[in-house]
Structure 1
Amino acid sequence: MPNTEDFFKYITEGYTFKGEYIPVGAAMLDGETITGAHVKIPLKTMNRHGLIAGATGTGKTKSLQVLAENLSDRGVPVLLMDIKGDLSGLAEPSPGHPKIDERHEKIGLPFEAKKFPVEILTLSEQNGVRLRATVSEFGPVLLSRILDLSDVQTGIVAVIFQYCDDNKLPILDLKDFKKILQYATDEGKEAFEKSYGRISTASTGAILRKVVELEQQGADLFFGETSFEVNDLQRIDENGRGYINIIRLTDIQDRPKLFSTFMLSLLAEIYSTFPEQGDSDRPELVIFIDEAHLIFSEASKALLDQIESIVKLIRSKGVGLYFVTQNPTDVPEDVLGQLGLKVQHALRAFTANDRKAIKMTAQNYPDSDYYDTTEVLTSLGIGEALVSALDEKGRPTPLAATMMRAPMSRMDVLTDSELKNLLSESSLVKKYNETIDRESAYELLNEKIAKADAEEAKAKAKKEQEELDRTSSRSTSRSRSQYQRMNPVVKVLTSATFIRSVFGILTKVMKK
């Protein structure tokens, strides 16, 4: 049986850091909590990404809540994806409970109830700060990957964007993009072929169908103005605490394409906007993606490649990404290999596949003389987890079965009145919730088409008038010609009459 004193020393030495850290709980040995053997996460390595996993009801969301609270307390802004709708309680203090006091006594950490600065964001028509982006901001490559287009179709999208740039046609929303696609193979076909080459009607039709599919998942609400500025995710309140930005996604579970679209655009925007951070003592922003399988399950190969690239690169901007899901196998292996912190709650072995998944999960953790990892994974209780982090030098910390501390904020949702009050005090609601539909490609092309139609109608009318004039001229000429053909006869008749008249007069004179 392992020696408790040796284990205590093993944990305390392995989790001793020079810089700031977050204590998440106390280590456990043989199912018993070792008071004071605190398991900590260095703030310095929280941009190395992480995973929070476990079966339903094992405490994943509460672990996420604990990390978000402690980051905020240390002045680090946080972005949370709230798909189940149970994170808004961060804006109110915990009411407390005897079981919480008992838990913290075992851990050896004081419990303090407090609320945190919270901003509620939304992708849909739910209450909150509206998140939007323009199609132009996506660019042809990112948009093509989201739509899962072929190489030929991607080339057409690139041509469309180039045409709009050359002709100063802003592509702000999906109706702009659909309009320019239709224009390229209809009214503007000749102009496109002359400057950019022929565009296949079949290809534009296929692209339009992909756009309609995206629209059906609610993307028409996301694409448009006013575009959300990612720097607003980095706000600090008057007490020096980082804002916890919560994106309400409770109505998006059946629209994974929209979720993937949003996440990829957000990460791409953060990567292109944030300055290089280097090896700093704390992250600039930490993002928690709850129900992370929604990103990966419906994503195309091109989209997965893009996500994997951003995960690898974005930590240099001081941004940490944390995926929250039921099983580590929900996350692609290339992404999983980039995750420095792992908080693994209990897994349940109900089937042969479950047992296989548990064995694979156990292999992702450092070897330990104190644990049979496979056995521990199935025996953890609610609010307990296997924790493995990176120390300040980037080395794995000792593996520790951990009794996790309780959240300081409410472990429940805000009431409607509380949510209304929170939003009424938000400066971002005033900044982003006005819908703007300024003149863009849709209006400009309709105007161009209307002008072209008017000019065509005018030219047609002019042509018809000219034809009418020519017809009238020919009629007049024929009348004149007929008159001229008749003229000699008239002359003869006139002369004969004159002669007859003269001779008649002369005859009368002679008779007299």
Structure 2
Amino acid sequence: MIEDGRIFLGAGANGPQWLELRYANRHGLVAGATGTGKTITLRIMAESFSAAGVPVFAADIKGDLSGVGLAGSAEGKAFLAKRAEEIGFAQAYHFEGFPVAYWDLFGRQGHPVRTTISEMGPLLLSRLLDLNDTQEGVINVAFNLADEQKLLLLDLKDLRAMLTFIAEQAEALRTTYGNISAASVGAIQRKLLTLENEGAAHFFGEPALELSDFMRVDSDGRGVINLLAADQLMASPKLYATFLLWLLSELFETLPEVGDLDKPKLVFFFDEAHLLFNDAPKALLEKVTQVVRLVRSKGVGVYFVTQNPADIPEPVLAQLGNRIQHALRAYTPAERKAIRAAAESFRPNPAFKTEDAITELAVGEALVSTLLDKGVPGIVERTLIRPPSSRLEPLSAVERAAALAGSAMAGKYDRSIDSHSAYEMLQARVESGAQTSTAAQLSRSSSVPPSGPWGRQKDAEEKRSSGAAAKRGSRAPARPRSDSMVETTMKSVLRTAGREITRSIVRGLLGSWKR
């Protein structure tokens, strides 16, 4: 329910609790133990933002959210009507579905989501591959050299070919980039193979996602709820976290400054948020903090959903002004300490002790504190969360197939495109015997400035745009998995690289590359 630019969250002893749309881009937190009602809270917030004309992005971790596109039913759902009656919402409560777009990195339960290696950038790619500093340095060399040589890095085979290329040209590159370790190149290649086996090859390629397709409204002015199927994706938690971080950084880099609006341009729910921060290097945490702090001015609200507020680093937690805390359990001293810390983050309510209330909350009940006039945090209130309007049951396979067939995105991303990029260009050099001239060019090349703060190739989009027609006209023919000329040539290149690496090891000239 939307009233006077506010979202109705639920009600407590002191009346209704609202989330001001004008402060919704100040970010938020939905926390609580498993089974306490976090997913329902996420659902009713997504419904409300959609009704207010705000597009939403959320990951559907268990498939529970997929029914948000269909109206709910009172049949067998007496508890919904009871909750509506308890909070004085009975007259306004009704069932309805909302506009939904279904997405899937693997293209099985939704439209495929793709990006290119160039757009991902070396920093996030290194995070995804769990590389050490030396290996990350080699990735940076690959990106910078690709910029210099005008080689587009679109998919995994482009990056693998680029790594093979720099291993072959290590001697010529030494004066510009320092020593490039054969062991580091080999380690990266193995991790890329593992990543490919996990299905990440579906994620890298073209057509790449256009962010505008995540920021649509329907003909009635309701925001489209973009659901990412993540049940299978959670088997690769680092890929999941890296994808969402990439998406957040793309929004930050692409959207213009808009300042404070009457309502956000997009609300982004980051479910299972602890996966983003587990074992994250300091540099990455600093970038996340920077983006969360600054993306507000782009009109984007970010809501982290996790079990415990302690899962979120303090610098990020400090940016989250709207908070909904479901129950936490205290079975150990560490858990009691976490509950105390969570309680201290709220503006106290003299009617109850916040620390005790967190352990006493029932399912579907939460402590709510949202930003009020002038962005001041409201006093924390015990709140019964309102019931959802959409269907609680997930979509069946038939219903999902029908939704995808009738989607506005049908046909736009469903077929992949294999463009003429680094792999094909390097193969052409091998076939034309251009390796000698390439080495000469490299030996004369000057240092290339590093990529931007997110490690993107700054001119990748310009090159892709200016050469779009050429790429479409020169698309490489389909290559069988074996017995093709290109694959045979590639094996030859790898054998050559192996011989060069072996000779280098014998000479003892390999060292650790430092950025």
Q: Which bracket does the TM-score occupy, shorter chain normalised?
A: 0.7 to 0.9
Instruction: Please name the residue that 1:119 is paired with.
Output: 101
Instruction: Please name the residue that 2:83 is paired with.
Output: 103
- The 1-side partners of 2:364 and 2:59 are apart by 21
Equivalent in 324, 347, 350 of residue 366 of structure 1: 347
Amino acid corresponding to residue 44 of structure 1 in structure 2: R
The structure-2 alpha-carbon separation of the partners of 1:449 and 1:192, relative to structure 1 and needing over 3 Å to count, comes to farther
Most deviating of 421-430 and 17-26: 17-26
Retained in 1: the 8 A contact 2:107–2:113? no
TM-superposed deviation, 1:90: 0.3
Instruction: Please name the residue that 1:391 is paired with.
Output: 372
Gaps of 5+ in 1: 1-16, 29-33, 457-512
The structure-2 alpha-carbon separation of the partners of 1:356 and 1:155, relative to structure 1 and needing over 3 Å to count, comes to closer
Report whether the alignment pairs 1:41 with 2:22.
Answer: no
Q: Provide TM-score, normalisation by structure 2.
A: 0.79
Q: Counterpart of 1:431 in 2: which secondary structure? A: coil
Instruction: Please name the residue that 2:59 is paired with.
Output: 81
Report whether the alignment pairs 1:93 with 2:71.
Answer: yes
The structure-2 alpha-carbon separation of the partners of 1:196 and 1:114, relative to structure 1 and needing over 3 Å to count, comes to same
- The 1-side partners of 2:377 and 2:436 are apart by 72
CA RMSD of aligned residues (A): 2.2
TM-superposed deviation, 1:216: 4.1
TM-superposed deviation, 1:373: 0.6
Instruction: Please name the residue that 1:183 is paired with.
Output: 165
Retained in 2: the 8 A contact 1:160–1:181? yes
Equivalent in 98, 122, 130 of residue 140 of structure 1: 122
TM-superposed deviation, 1:189: 4.3
Amino acid corresponding to residue 145 of structure 2 in structure 1: Y
The equivalences for 1:417-428 within 5 A come to 417-428=398-409
The structure-2 alpha-carbon separation of the partners of 1:150 and 1:94, relative to structure 1 and needing over 3 Å to count, comes to same
Instruction: Please name the residue that 1:313 is paired with.
Output: 294
- The 1-side partners of 2:160 and 2:435 are apart by 23
What is the number of equivalent residue pairs in this alignment? 432
Report whether the alignment pairs 1:271 with 2:237.
Answer: no
Amino acid corresponding to residue 452 of structure 1 in structure 2: G
TM-superposed deviation, 1:453: 8.2
Instruction: Please name the residue that 2:475 is paired with.
Output: none
Deviations 1:277-313 (A, max 9, x none): 1011110100112222222225333333322221111
- The 2-side partners of 1:217 and 1:393 are apart by 47
Retained in 2: the 8 A contact 1:217–1:257? no
- The 2-side partners of 1:268 and 1:290 are apart by 17
- The 2-side partners of 1:212 and 1:303 are apart by 24
Retained in 2: the 8 A contact 1:92–1:409? yes
- The 2-side partners of 1:281 and 1:429 are apart by 32
- The 2-side partners of 1:324 and 1:274 are apart by 24
Retained in 2: the 8 A contact 1:136–1:170? yes
Equivalent in 19, 23, 31 of residue 8 of structure 2: 23
Q: Which has the higher helix share?
A: 1
TM-superposed deviation, 1:213: 4.2
Q: Counterpart of 1:432 in 2: which secondary structure? A: coil
Retained in 2: the 8 A contact 1:260–1:299? no
- The 1-side partners of 2:350 and 2:130 are apart by 47
Instruction: Please name the residue that 1:171 is paired with.
Output: 153
Instruction: Please name the residue that 1:229 is paired with.
Output: 210
Most deviating of 145-154 and 433-442: 145-154
The structure-2 alpha-carbon separation of the partners of 1:107 and 1:424, relative to structure 1 and needing over 3 Å to count, comes to same
Gaps of 5+ in 2: 438-515
Deviations 1:30-77 (A, max 9, x none): xxxx6xx11111001111111111111111111111111011001000
Amino acid corresponding to residue 161 of structure 1 in structure 2: F
Deviations 1:358-412 (A, max 9, x none): 1221111111111111111111111110000111311011211001100010112
Retained in 2: the 8 A contact 1:46–1:320? yes
- The 1-side partners of 2:333 and 2:287 are apart by 33
- The 1-side partners of 2:107 and 2:97 are apart by 26
Amino acid corresponding to residue 69 of structure 1 in structure 2: E
Retained in 2: the 8 A contact 1:48–1:340? yes
Equivalent in 213, 231, 236 of residue 255 of structure 1: 236
Instruction: Please name the residue that 2:510 is paired with.
Output: none
- The 1-side partners of 2:33 and 2:142 are apart by 46
Aligned-residue identity in percent:
45
